[in-house]
Structure 1
Amino acid sequence: MNYISIRQASEIWGISSRRVQVLCTEGRIPGVTRLGKSWAIPSHAKKPADARIKSGKYITTD
């Protein structure tokens, strides 16, 4: 399996490298693995959907 770095993923997906790090930490990229201090992202991985709040309203799930 081929892997790409955080920097390569950020360039492909058009988002910051810090945002890719957060997505890796949250486990939102399928197949991502941790190699020491760096992340290995599968080259076929798709950009996850943005799950941040867009409406300006917080929705409770109680």
Structure 2
Amino acid sequence: MEYLTSNEIAEKWNISSRRVRILCGEGRVEGAIQKGILWLIPSNTQKPQELRRGRKKQDDI
């Protein structure tokens, strides 16, 4: 199985590497392994669904 770093996955998923590390820390990335300070993620892992909600605009309040 081929593993990619959080930076490589971030580029693949078009999100920040920090966001990838947060998702891994929350246990939302299937198969992710932490080796020291590195997160190793299987190359075939799908991006988890986004659970965050957007902010309301001032006009909507």
TM range (shorter): 0.7 to 0.9
CA distance in 1, matches of 2:55, 2:11: 27
RMSD: 1.3
Paired residue for 2:23? 23
Question: How much does 1:51 deviate?
Answer: 0.6
Point out where structure 1 has 5 or more consecutive residues left out of the alignment: 57-62
Paired residue for 1:5? 5
Give the secondary-structure state (helix, strand or coil) at the position aligned to 1:10.
helix
Question: How much does 1:53 deviate?
Answer: 2.1
Question: How much does 1:55 deviate?
Answer: 7.5
Point out where structure 2 has 5 or more consecutive residues left out of the alignment: 57-61
TM (normalized to structure 1)?
Answer: 0.83
TM (normalized to structure 2)?
Answer: 0.84
Bigger radius of gyration among the two = 2
Query: Between Structure 1 and Structure 2, how many residues are aligned?
Result: 56
Paired residue for 2:46? 46
